[in-house]
Amino acid sequence: MVFFIKLSLWALAFVPLIIAESVFFPFIFGKVVMIRVFVALVSILFAVHVIANADFRRGVYGRLKLVAKNPLFVTTTTFVALSIVSTIFATNPFRAFFGDVERGEGLIGLLYFYGFFVYSLLVFEKKDWMWFFRLNLFTGAVLFTKALVEISEGSVRPGSFTGNPAFLGGYFLFVIFAALASFYYSKKEPIWKFFSAAMLLLGTIGLFLTQTRSAMAGLVVGVLALVIYSALHGKAIVMWKGFSLRTVAFATLAAMVVVGSLFGTTKESPLWQRVPGFNRIANFTLMDATVQTRLISLGVSKNAIDPQKNGMQKFLIGWGPENFGIAYNKYYNPEYYQYEHTWFDRAHNKLMDVAVMNGMLGLLAYMGMWVSVAWLVFRRKGFSFDMMAALFFGGAFFFNLLFVFDQVSTIIPLFAFFAFLAYVSTVEDQLPAGGKEKKTQVMAGVREYATYGMFGAAGLFFTWALIFWTIVPYSQMSTYLTAIGTKNAAGILQNPEAIFEPYTFAQQDIRGHFLNVLTQYYGKEQQLTPLIDDSIRRMEELIAKEPTNPRYFIMIASAYDRRARAGDGLEYFKKAEAYYRKAAELAPMRQDVMYAIAFNLSFQGRVDEAIAVLRTVLTVDDVSPETHYFLGAILTEKGGGDYREALKEMEIAMSSPTYINFKDEQTVNIYQLFLKRTYAARDSENFLIVAKRLEIVDPPQAEMARQMGDMVRKGQWPAINFD
């Protein structure tokens, strides 16, 4: 049975390859299901074997006593315990516990990762770890091959089976570590040594193909860590023709300085623009949108954990797992909108993620895990190849996490790394001369029953969570997407329980998608009216259960807006306004929420109020072109003789290099109206501005606008029928 436990744990080396097409976020949730299936299976086999086999039970208890003293085990367990506390007191406990489909984390996800950490630490021996690393090398080879295919098909930054180049780059850091470990431990197996060496090279190339700057910078930090370790411990290690490892380390450092200097002085060269990875580094500036959004996010995160603003509870234990978005929306910085319009649910800095979601206590425990890595590496006297490899990955991946966040493709490798390091630094270091681990000979009754209870409870929990909190949401998503994909609306109405009941963490995606799809048919297909009404009702149920996400309120408000515009009655504009106002309470500084309120007011005929809302937005953000555009559009709608302010606002927006939606029908109509008004007023200055703009935004009428501009320049104002 132990073999099947190990086999199930080895299977998780293939997690990054799994994709589930029949659910939302197929690159994520398929991997989540695989993790939970195999951890649940391991938990059942483990519990049964602990109860049925006294030798195994004593061995597990002895291993537990040993690793319980390991600082990495202690800090990891402490972090999980504090996450439980954070979940209990979370702003949205439901999301804190279950997480969401897009990330597959939450407390329940963390417990599965921790389960893998504990089970692998308790049953894996050195040879088992080597097989786990080798299997990850196979996974890396498949990911690398798929990345090459994507590049051949025109992809600039491949994500392979992870779906995201940032996560793929992070995983290739683990591949490099696995290749180093596998190479070292395959001393009498030339085939594995060759394969490991090959994957060391391919993993590095693959990392550069992703063009993920954080992973590439992490690689440099990891190599520097190798150099430092080799300089400290490599004096007695002879590498080649009498050269010590320390000498090689200093030579490597010198080479890195030379290459870095050469790159720094020639980065404008076209040569670097043709090298994947180096091209993005060469074009890097602190004004990059990605850099600016991350800097802004740091400030928002700082406000979220400020005890003077939120109290000591959130400072110490945070807002709760998967509750980062709630804090981020509350303290949203309007400058962010100038660079990106997405809704952040992560800080793109793992330390700030932990600080906001788990508080300062959680951050201390998390940092304790990484400090433990360094302490365990440098604690061992003399040179150790596996400790050197561990230092490489620890430094590289930690630095990478300062600019991104981890994901299921990289979290399992990370917990595997922690478990492996805890093993080699505690279990292996304390093996007796014969190489066999001593088993506890006698277990007191209380301890024996405690062992039964602990692993029995873990088996029940992971199995229960797999069935009801993983398979059920999977089935709901699959059933819904199949029905929507085949346009089987009747099927949804006939069997709604299979999709909407029970309420699971997948319901936010199902009900949100359901609402957005159905509201497109307002006023178009009367037979869908019952389904449309049902989609609104389902979304209102969601809001009642989880009233902390402003996007939910915006979605249902948009649905009511559409319904009102389809002719169902002006009272629906009022309902939409109420929901928009609630969204604004949760995200008071987000421009797009205020835009929605302004347009809703204009639809109600309350144009002056709409204009006032947009002018308020300008007081906090007068840079984003959208604010100027929408203000200009509504001022134009108001009409009257004074078009000058409206035209001024439109031109500010249209002249912005970041505004790209300038050839749409609404823009053409607005400028055609300006053309009529400026012509009627004999306003030559503004007429020429409008005519020039129409040449750009209305290509079919460009020649006519040009001719009219020529006439006005000559002072000619002939009668023109604009209709």
- Domain extents for the chain? 2-13+23-267+276-448, 488-660, 661-723
What pLDDT is attached to residue 459? 93
What pLDDT is attached to residue 238? 67
What pLDDT is attached to residue 259? 82
pLDDT for 255 beyond 70: yes
pLDDT for 209 beyond 60: yes
pLDDT for 172 beyond 70: yes
User: What predicted TM-score, i.e. pTM, was given to this entire model?
Assistant: 0.91
Alpha-carbon distance 117 to 712, whole Å? Answer: 77
Phi, psi for residue 147 in degrees, rounded to 5: -65, -40
Average pLDDT on 253-259 reads 85
Beta-carbon count within 10 A of 158 CB: 25
Report residue 300 as tokens: 């928002």
Task: Give the lowest-confidence range in 304-313, 542-551, 615-624, 634-643.
Answer: 634-643
The model's confidence at residue 640, banded by pLDDT at 50, 70 and 90, is: low
pLDDT for 422 beyond 90: yes
What pLDDT is attached to residue 251? 85
The β-bridge partners of 244 are 238
Look at the alpha carbons of 113, 116, 119, 121 in this order and tell me if their dihedral is positive or negative: negative
Type of residue numbered 546: E
CA–CA distances in Å: residue 75 to residues 355, 399, 422: 16, 19, 11
What pLDDT is attached to residue 438? 56
Task: Indicate the average pLDDT of the chain.
Answer: 89
pLDDT for 439 beyond 70: no
Model confidence pLDDT, tens digit, residues 393-402: 999 999 999 9
Give the residue, 488 or 408, on which the prediction is more confident.
408
SS3 of 378-447: HHCCCCCHHHHHHHHHHHHHHHHCCCCCCCHHHHHHHHHHHHHHHHHHHHHHHCCCCCCCCCCCCCCHHH
> Would you say domain 488-660 falls under CATH 1.10.287.10?
no
Q: What is the DSSP string of 210-236?
A: HT-HHHHHHHHHHHHHHHHHHHHH-TT
Task: Give the lowest-confidence range in 139-148, 201-210, 447-456, 711-720.
Answer: 447-456
Model confidence pLDDT, tens digit, residues 484-543: 877 666 667 677 888 999 999 999 999 999 998 888 777 666 667 788 888 899 999 999
Alpha-carbon distance 275 to 208, whole Å? Answer: 9
Alpha-carbon distance 585 to 576, whole Å? Answer: 14
Question: Is the Cβ–Cβ distance between 657 and 623 less than 8 Å?
Answer: no
pLDDT for 464 beyond 50: yes
Q: Where are the beta strands (DSSP E) in 120-273?
A: 238-240, 243-244
**Among 16-20, 278-282, 512-516, 704-708, the range of highest mean pLDDT:** 16-20
Question: Is the Cβ–Cβ distance between 385 and 169 less than 8 Å?
Answer: no
Average pLDDT on 286-290 reads 73
Alpha-carbon distance 175 to 199, whole Å? Answer: 7
Phi, psi for residue 55 in degrees, rounded to 5: -65, -45
The model's confidence at residue 442, banded by pLDDT at 50, 70 and 90, is: very low
The β-bridge partners of 240 are 243
End-to-end CA, the chain: 84
The model's confidence at residue 296, banded by pLDDT at 50, 70 and 90, is: confident
Alpha-carbon distance 694 to 709, whole Å? Answer: 11
Task: Name the one residue in this structure whose structure tokens are 């947009």.
Answer: 614
What pLDDT is attached to residue 134? 97
C-alpha 12 chain-centroid distance: 21
Task: Give the lowest-confidence range in 13-17, 254-258, 518-522, 615-619.
Answer: 518-522
What pLDDT is attached to residue 529? 77
pLDDT for 273 beyond 90: no
Alpha-carbon distance 632 to 614, whole Å? Answer: 10
Type of residue numbered 571: E
Alpha-carbon distance 132 to 7, whole Å? Answer: 9
pLDDT for 433 beyond 50: no
Alpha-carbon distance 651 to 641, whole Å? Answer: 18
Helix (H) or strand (E) holding 358: helix 350-379
The model's confidence at residue 436, banded by pLDDT at 50, 70 and 90, is: low
Average pLDDT on 672-695 reads 89
The model's confidence at residue 440, banded by pLDDT at 50, 70 and 90, is: low
CA–CA distances in Å: residue 451 to residues 58, 78, 117, 196, 326: 10, 20, 17, 39, 39
Average pLDDT on 386-412 reads 94
Task: Give the lowest-confidence range in 411-425, 491-505, 521-535, 659-673.
Answer: 521-535
What pLDDT is attached to residue 430? 63
What pLDDT is attached to residue 568? 74
Which long-range contacts does 287-294 make (Cβ < 8 Å, 24+ apart)?
A: 289/339, 289/340, 292/335, 292/339, 293/336, 293/339, 293/340, 293/348, 294/347, 294/348, 294/349, 294/403
Alpha-carbon distance 499 to 586, whole Å? Answer: 29
SS3 of 640-687: CCCCHHHHHHHHHHHCCCCCCCCCCHHHHHHHHHHHHHHHHCCCHHHH
Question: Is the Cβ–Cβ distance between 686 and 676 less than 8 Å?
Answer: no
Three-class secondary structure of residue 141 per DSSP: helix
Task: Give the lowest-confidence range in 292-296, 308-312, 567-571.
Answer: 567-571
Work out the percent of the chain whose per-residue pLDDT is above 70. Answer: 93
Type of residue numbered 650: M
